[in-house]
Amino acid sequence: MNLVLLIILFLLMIYIDKVRGIKLFLSLVFNFLILMVLFYLIAIGLNPIICSLIACIILSYVILFYVNGENIKTKSSFKSIIIVLLILALLIFLITNLSRIAGFGIESYEEINMFSYNVKIDYTNITISLILISLIGATVDSSIAISSALYEVHLNNLKLSKKELFKSGMNIGHDILCTTTNTLLFAFLADFMTLMIWFYTSKYSFLDIINSKTFACEFIKILFSAIGCLLVIPITSYITTSDLKKEEN
């Protein structure tokens, strides 16, 4: 069944755009392999945070440059994503340590009870790694949407000043922000639906739910993804505007 769905996905991709569809499908394969390598490196004891940051940069590079090519739009977007990752990495480290969301919640005890607890891995670093990986997709999507739209605005009106072009980028960001945050919310609810039903049947109170480590961890992940999308709007708008005006000169 998985193979059938994979074939359907591939056929739809090449139906929409033959050349780019094949590239997009291959980029999915590359990204999957990158994540597998990341998990292996973490498992053998390398620092999860450093490995995840490097993996996020490589993933962004593959998504942007392999599929869309090397141009001013992808270059501006790539620089913006690196800046956002570096800013958020520090914030994620602080919040994860303060909130103590690392490790497993009591809801997971039944599933992990059969396994050995003698695992020499820092679960705080693992949690930071998971948050970094989870925010990269939405951040890349928002960034390339802004840089591409801003490029078209510039191309169709070369007389716009740097300030006006930046304002256009921010306006574009406002338009995509609503749909992006709602997409993240729906993804969170869909992923968390089973656990919410479990909370309800186990008669968890509202306070029990919001203080649950499992709930807090997932909620913080989605919040960081939203923060990433918010941060990338002004950063991408500024960098793209600067690069476009620099290209004029």
Confidence class for position 239, pLDDT limits 50, 70, 90: very high
Average pLDDT along the chain: 80
pLDDT at 93 over 90: no
Residue 11 phi, psi dihedral angles, 5° rounding: -65, -40
Which pLDDT tens digit goes with each residue over 120-151? 666 777 878 888 888 887 888 888 889 988 88
Give pLDDT, residue 110. 55
Better-predicted residue by pLDDT, 56 or 119: 56
The count of structural domains within the chain is 1
Helix (H) / strand (E) containing 43: helix 18-43
pLDDT of residue 28: 83
Q: What is the pLDDT of residue 14?
A: 80
pLDDT tens-digit map of 197-206: 777 777 777 7
Is position 209 within any domain?
yes
Contacts for 76 with CB less than 8 Å, ≥ 6 apart: 147, 236, 239, 240, 243
The answer to whether the CB of 138 falls within 8 A of the CB of 184 is yes
- Binned at pLDDT 50, 70 and 90, residue 236 comes out as very high
CATH code at position 68: 1.20.1640
Residue 72 falls within a domain, yes or no? yes
Is 110 inside any structural domain? no
- Domain span at residue 242 reads 2-103+120-248
**Between vectors from CA 39 to CA 20 and to CA 83, what angle results, nearest 5°?**
65
